Structures are given as C-alpha cells and as structure tokens.
Structure 1
Amino acid sequence: MTPAARLAAAIDLLIAVESTPRRPADATANDFFRTRRYIGGGDRRAIAELAWSVVRQRIRLDWWLHRVKCNVTARMLVAAELLLGKGLDVAAVLASFPGGQYAADPLDPIEERLLRQLDGTRYGPGLIHPAMPEAVKLDLPDWVLEGFRGRFGDRLAEEAAAMEGEAPLDLRANLLRTTREGAAAALAAEGIETRPTAFSPWGLRLPARRPVTQTKAFLEGLIEVQDEGSQLIALVTDARPGMRVLDLCAGAAGKTLALAATMQNRGRITACDVSVPRLEGAVKRLARAGADNVERHLLEPGDRWAKRRAGQFDRVLVDAPCTGTGTWRRNPDARLRTHPIDLTELCVKQRDILEVGADLVRPGGRLVYATCSLLPEEDEVQIEDFLARHPDFSPHPLAEAWAEAGGAGAPPAEGPYLVTSPARHGTDGFFAAVLQRRPQG
C-alpha cells in the first residue's frame, strides 16, 4: 500500500471505532482487519500506528479542533495529528490527502483553512499549549483528575505521561509445564529474547512486541500473555496445593491459570463468571496450560450456588469489574469510553460482589480484592467501607503476604495494599487488598 492508502485506511478505521463508542477499539480493529485480509502485516502495523496515535491524543486533538471551531471528524483528527503530533508542515499534510484511487480525498477549502488556523495558533512543537486546562495537558478526562491527584500527588504528571506510552508485552511462565528459565530458553530458541520481570517470579518481558501466540512455546502451554502487575495479584493470593480456591470474577481465566500453577494442580479451583462466552473461552486456555484442577461455574440471577458454599473456601479472589484506569496505556480508547456514571455504577457492583465473596471465605481464610483501577474510590475507599461492615475481616499486611507467597525483595505497596503503576513499576496499574477472616472461637 502507498502511504496515502495507509492514511485513508487509518481514517476508515477511526470511523469504525467512532461508530461503536462503547465497544473496545481493539475489538473493532480486529474486525476491521479481518474483513480486509488483503492488507499485509507491515501495512496493518502502519495503519494501526496512525489510528492509535490519534486515539491516544484524542483529548488534546479535540481541544485543538474546538479551538478553531472545527467539527471533529476522522479526517481532521488525522490531519491535526500529522501537523501537531508528527510535526509535518501544512504542505506535507495537504500532500498526504492526494485523492485518487485508494487515497483520501483532498482537504476541501474549509478543511484547509482550519488546518492553517491550527498551524497559526501553535505554541512551539507538539500538542501542548499553555491555554489548555490541566486535564487536557495531562491527556486525562477531567473527571479522574481529583482521584489521580489523590493517588499520585506530586507524581501526577509523571504517571500521566507514562500512561501515554505503549504497554510492554509481558509473559508468565507456566510452572505446570516449565520454569521461567525454561520458558526463556524455549523462546530464545525461536528467536525471541526476553528478560525477567522485576517483581513477578514467573514473569518475562519482551524488549519489543512480537507475535508470541504463534510460537511453539505458547502453543505447548509454556507461557501465557499476562501483564506483570496482573501476575502479582495471583502471587499475593497465595493459593497453595490442597486448598479450595474461588476466582469469583474469572473472565477467561487469566488469573485462574496462575493460581493453578501455584497450587501445582493440587486442590480445587472454581472459576466463576456471569458471561458464558468468557467461561467458554477459558476451556482452551486451561487445556493448553495443563490446568486440570479447575471447574467452571456460570453465575446466573437467582442462582443459589454461592449460598450453598458459604464459608467453604480458603482463598476467594475478587478481581472486580472496574473502570480500568490502570490499563489506559494498553487501552487508550477506554479513557474516552468511560464516564463518571460508569464509576458510580461500578462502585455499587464492586460492593455487592465483595459481599458475596466475603460469605464464601472460611473462618481463617483470605479474601483478596483486586482492580485494574488507580482511582481510590474503587480501591482503598471500597475496602474501608467493606471493613466497616465486616469486623470479622482485617487487612493482612502486604509485606507479610508477599513474603509468604515467595515474593523477592520489597513489594510495590502503599500502606498495607499492593499498588502498581506504569511510571513507578513499569506495569499496568493494579490494586490489591489481602483481607484475613478471623478464625472461629
């Protein structure tokens, strides 16, 4: 494909993403490229890179376009990104829209005038302008600013900048089939170099993204794709051989697989979810990993399954649905799809799920509450509220949980809780609280 054809395809992809605003952009992109199999790998990467650069900078690009009273269209978003983000001059931007077969139509006179206005109001290179509100400068929705300031304090700008970058590709060595060293060697034999992660004893990080799901190591179940921060949730859950463990919001079983490995396939894990497709999607992953101590259960309205199993589990992991603010560098479109009403509704849902999870923990057992959010309302505030209602639970200090589970060095912690973030730890943003239930008597 020519550069002009790639640009036209990026505009089409952005239009597809815009037409389904509540759907994850990566899912829309997968469908987009699946129906255009004629697009080769190199062209696909170039198209996605341009489209994602617009998505990542969308808050700032919208501000610029509104500043010159321009309707926000995919064409003008791309033009503004080329001018302000990529640093092209006006002539080069205009030349990128040559018209003709497979290329985007030339900018019309109104679009060209607005582009020149953007160029005339620039304040140095880049997308930042002194007149921008703080949230726009930080590339954040304004509704998260207070919560992020409470989380990060003076580090807010540093963390916001880290969220603009691309997330690394992390892998978890599947201890049911190999060791971390064995997984690294298997990948190296296929030409993929890795390095151990800083915190997870099972993690490997790639210096650049590679299609690892096509490797022999992946197909044979030696590795799973999992961010290091997510691996740490499984680590501090400390599921041991012989235990009865519940993954209450298991999804497609990413953390369930890690728990099965720490249990050495001994004991029993129940993976629950409210989604049939997610639970069905776990079947192939469990088989590939060799995890044969896992049963699945679909939670449905009116289901009495939880009541019948009250007080039966040594560990209950509540990987709660959340705003996902800690994964925004991985899912940059989510900062556009998520709104204050979502936070309000999710906090209620988290509270309800915690109530269910608490009842399922045996006396002396542990409840682990985790999110991939960095908003205190979904994290510490949620736990403080829970503990006020449940005096039979208390925080188990993270340093102790870390040492008991075999973590090396000091854990990434704020007070008694696990907290990871992109700038400080190089991982997605995760929160976890380990809560101990008082023994009977």
Structure 2
Amino acid sequence: MPTETVSPRGFALADAINIRALAADVLAPLLRQHGSLNTHLPDALAHCPPQDRALLQQLCYGSMRELFRLQALAQKLLQKPFKPQDMDLQALLLIGLWQLRSSRIPAHAALHETVEATLVLNKPWAKKLFNAVLRRYQREQDTLEQQLADDPCFTWNHPDWFVSKLQHNWPDHWQHILAANDEQAPLTLRVNRRQQSREQALARLNAAGIDASTCRFSADGLTLAQAMDVNALPGFEQGALSVQDEAAQLAVQLLDLQPGLRVLDACAAPGGKLCHLLEVAPELQAVTAVELEPARAQRIADNLQRLNLQLECQVLTADASSRDWWQGQPYDRILVDAPCSGTGVIRRHPDIKWLRRGEDIAALAQVQLGILANLWQLLPPGGRLVYATCSIFSQENERIIERFLKQQADARHAPIEAPWGEARPFGRQLFPQPGGHDGFYYAVLSKATDT
C-alpha cells in the first residue's frame, strides 16, 4: 500500500499525488479571502513531486487569472452553490473549467484527474456531480459562454469596482489595461553589469540555446522568449543575472546616482531595485535599506548574498513611517518604493484581482503619504527623492504627489523626460504592455535650497 503524508492544510495525500487536489487546497483559502498565492503556494510546492511543480503553478495561476469568468461559468453550471465548508470543491471546479477552457492539457486527462480529486479531498459524494458538470461544459461551451456575453464579470474578468475605477482614471486606456492584465507576463532579467555587459549576457544565453532580446527602455534588461527555470540560466546562480521587470529597472535611472552619495531605499523588499543600484553605482558612500516585515527583510539579505553585495548595504528591519531607526545623518538620494495595491502587476499576481477591495486604495494612499512626509525629513536641501509604486490608480500616484507638494513648501516636482510611459501633471505612468513591462508609476522630487 502507498504511504500517506498530510498536506499543509490537512487532507491525506498518497505517494501518487493528485495535483488538482493539491491545487484546490491552495486556492480554497484564497476564495475565503485568507492569504494569497504567495503565502499558500510555497507549502504546496514543497509537497509536490519536482516533475509536477510546473503543472501545479500553472493550475493555480491560470485559474486565478481567469477567476471571474470561471466563477460566472460555475454559477451557470451548478443548480446551487457549494456550502462554505466545501470551498475546496469550488476551487476544484474552477480548476477543472480552466483546464477545459484555456489549457493545453488533453480533455480526457483533465476530466479524469479533476473528478478523481474529489476522492482525495474526502468528498466522494461530489464525484458524480463533477463528472456531469464538466462534461456538460464540454458539450455546451459555446452556448454557455454566449449566454454570459452581457455579464461584465465574464466580459472583463475583473471585479466591478476595479473596472469602474479604471474607466474613471483612464478613459482612453482601460480596455487595454484589462486585456493586458489577463496575459501572462514575460520573464525579464536584469544583467549585473559588475560581472558582464548586456551584450555578453545575451551572447551567453544564445549560446545556450535560450532565445532572448534586449529591453527597449532599460539598459540592463533582457526578456526571454519563453519562461524557464531561472536556475538553469548561465550565470544566474553566480549572480550574473536577476529576475526583475523592466519597469522596476527604471528606478536607478531616475535616482541620478553619483560617487560618494548616501542612499536610502525605503520599503526595500524583495531588494531588486536595491541590488540594481548597488550594481551600477559601486562608489556610493553608504546605502541603507529599510523593510518593515522580518521575513521580507530576509529576502533582501538573500538577494544581496547571491549577488555578493551583502557587505555594501545595511539592511534594517524598521518602519519607514517612523524615524526610530535613523541615526541623524541625511541621505542624498531616497527611493520610496511605497506599499501599494499592486494593480500594475496583476499579470504576475492574478489573485490581486480577487483579494483587493476598492476601499483598500484610500487606506493605502494615507500610508503612502505618511511614509513620504516622514522620509522627506531625511533629505537635505538639494537632495532627490524618487517615489514609485506598481499601481495604475492615480489615487496612489500623481494625486499623492499633488497632495504632498501642497503640504511641503520646500518640495519641487521634477518632470521626467523619458521615452516610456505617459507624462502626467505629476510624474509618469506606465501601463502593463503585452510582452513588455508591468504597470508602474514614478515621480521625482527635489528639496529646494532657497526656502
């Protein structure tokens, strides 16, 4: 008999693990608004055979990416919804529908494994139901989806509040943003110029049979034609390459780093922008990174270690909205990578669409303004502060800068002249691009010397 183990959230798993059941175990708490893919998926991957980990991620990310369409289909197919204690079955149904609708998995395999997963979840009464519902979808897919053509959730695959806010913020762009959010983001790399030039990195990738191209706006960026295990990239484990979206790589250009400067990276986790600035500016006088959450601060330390930069930066587990950690010496450059809604990176974190609420935006805006006002006191006259978010909502972006400028008499807005994004009255907004960069926002402020 096969031995059994227990999954992170309790159901029995045999040696021959049903990956659909494991995926349902990941998604069920998300449907209850508990945790995220980032918090639940790593445990499941640890219980998953190595050869099936890519499939597990595909099932989880694919189902969350199309969640609102799948929910509408499930509601159409079920005579009555599942009870709250059967949210694992709701998750499993979404996974089954996603396989039949959007994956390359053969339909017979998707059907069999999904139906069998009801037994692994210890709910054998659902086996007949799942077999009937999924086969009905197979037979009537076109008719069912035509009947949902006027349902906004099915059409736009985003919550109503999100679509409404996006229409208000970006009347000329909202449909393109929604469509881009539903695509899988490309795998973009940052070349460590301390070890090699971008041209050398591209040549090494091509020699290894890996198709890549240079990014349009970042001088250190490369985009792979197809995603792959980054540990298999030549030089990755030695720190020659890092994963970072092109939009995030633009922060270094805006900081205008010079030898001998003191630099602060606030809200620094996971450390991509921090490592980038250390790579391109080795002659800085001092660099400090601040991160509130200990686990995320550890991720910064891990990234610095891999790149052999751990001796060139001080990492503090501290609150960027206070100054308890500050030793009193000003910073010439400050990067405020503010906590935000993450609505510009939905392609990489599709559960944001489900987990985020409209009221979260106003609360986040208060946090952002508080951090900005606090850190402004650490900047000397003539210093530069770069404000960044991975949000596409103006309430977290240009309106924050507008409010801040009204509050701070010595703050000056510096327009960004760049070939990327859209110029706004304050700062510059990037939208997610198919095959390109994520959604992002940047603004540059300087402190006056003559107030």
TM range (shorter): 0.7 to 0.9
Q: Does 1:74 align with 2:91?
A: yes
Taking the aligned partners of 1:293 and 1:88, their CA distance within structure 2 comes to 47
Identity of aligned residues (%): 27
Residues 341 and 11 of structure 1: is their aligned pair in 2 closer, same or farther, counting only changes over 3 Å?
farther
Which residue of the partner structure matches residue 432 of structure 1? 442
Counterpart among 231, 238, 263 of residue 213 in structure 1: 231
**1:10 — aligned with what?**
20
Question: Could you tell me which residue of structure 2 aligns to residue 31 of structure 1?
Answer: 43
Structure 1 residue 87, shift from structure 2 partner: 10
CA distance in 2, matches of 1:100, 1:17: 14
CA–CA distance in structure 1, aligned partners of residues 104 and 278 of structure 2 = 49
Between 99-108 and 278-287, the greater mean CA deviation after superposition: 99-108
Moved more, 82-91 or 10-19: 82-91
Q: Kindly indicate whether residue 72 of structure 2 is the aligned counterpart of residue 63 of structure 1.
A: yes
Q: Work out whether residues 414 and 445 of structure 2, in 8 Å CA contact, stay in contact via their aligned partners in 1.
A: yes
Gap change, CA 1:213 and 1:87, over 3 Å in 2 = closer
Question: Which residue identity lines up with residue 304 of structure 1 in the other structure?
Answer: D
Could you report, residue by residue, the CA deviation over 1:41-72 in whole angstroms, capped at 9, with x for unpaired residues? 2x332333233222111111112223444425
Partner of 1:273: 291
- 98-107 or 55-64: which moved more? 98-107
Question: Which stretch shows the higher mean deviation, 184-193 or 361-370?
Answer: 184-193
The alignment's TM-score, normalised by the length of structure 1, stands at 0.85
Give the distance between the partners of 1:414 and 1:140, measured in 2 at CA: 26
Q: Which residue of 2 aligns with 1:304?
A: 324
- Aligned partner of 1:35: which letter? H
Closer/same/farther in 2, CA of residues 215 and 82 from structure 1, 3 Å limit: closer
Bigger mean CA offset, 11-20 vs 51-60: 11-20
- Provide the rounded CA distance (Å) in 2 between the counterparts of 1:187 and 1:80: 37
Note the C-alpha offset of 1:115: 5.0
Distance 1:48 1:304, change over 3 A: closer
Cα gap change, 1:109/1:426 in structure 2, threshold over 3 Å: closer, same or farther? same
The whole-number CA distance in structure 1 between the counterparts of 2:166 and 2:16 is 37
Q: What amino acid is aligned across from residue 79 of structure 1 in structure 2?
A: G
TM-score normalised per structure 2: 0.83
Post-superposition offset of 1:74: 2.3
Map residues 96-135 of structure 1 onto 2, 5 A cutoff: 97=114, 99=116, 108-111=127-130, 114-115=133-134, 123-124=142-143, 129-133=148-152, 135=153
1:178 equivalent to 2:187? Answer no
Q: Kindly state the Cα deviation for residue 289 of structure 1 after the two structures are TM-superposed.
A: 2.5
In the TM superposition, residue 160 of structure 1 has moved relative to its aligned partner by 0.8
Match of 1:364, SS state, is coil
Residues 339, 389 of structure 2: 8 Å contact kept: yes
What CA deviation, in whole Å up to 9, does each residue of 1:263-300 have, x standing for no partner?
A: 23432211111122322332342243243432222225
Q: Contact between 1:347 and 1:378, CA under 8 Å: does it hold in 2?
A: yes
Instruction: Determine whether 1:413 maps to 2:431.
Output: no
* Structure 1 stretch displaced more, 241-250 or 96-105: 96-105
Cα displacement string for residues 82-122 of structure 1 (whole angstroms, at most 9, x for unaligned residues): 45446999999755556499988695454455557757875
Instruction: Answer yes or no: is the 8 Å Cα contact 1:90–1:116 preserved in 2.
Output: no
1:50 to 59, 62, 86: 59
- Separation in 1, partners of 2:154, 2:393: 18
C-alpha separation in 2, matches of 1:110 and 1:276: 45
- 2:325 corresponds to which letter in structure 1? W
SS at the partner of 1:369? strand
Task: Return the match for 1:201 from 208, 219, 229.
Answer: 219
Asked if 1:325 is matched to 2:343, the reply is: yes
Determine the C-alpha separation between the residues in 1 that align with 2:367 and 2:18. Answer: 42
Q: CA deviation at 1:320?
A: 0.4
CA distance in 2 between counterparts of 1:52 and 1:107 reads 24
Alpha-carbon distance, 1:394 to partner: 2.1
Letter in 1 for 2:96: A
- The 2-side partners of 1:339 and 1:90 are apart by 35
- Pairwise CA RMSD of aligned residues? 3.2
TM superposition shift of 1:411: 2.9
Aligned residues: 422
Would you say the 8 A contact 2:211–2:224 is kept in 1?
yes
Do residues 161 (structure 1) and 179 (structure 2) align?
yes
Match of 1:293 in 2: 312
Inter-CA distance 70–9: structure 2 relative to 1 (3 Å threshold): farther
Corresponding residue of 1:152 = 170
Relative to structure 2, which stretch is displaced further, 368-377 or 269-278? 269-278
Q: Is the 8 A contact 1:84 1:126 kept in 2?
A: no
Q: Which is worse superposed, 315-324 or 91-100?
A: 91-100
- AA paired with 1:347? A
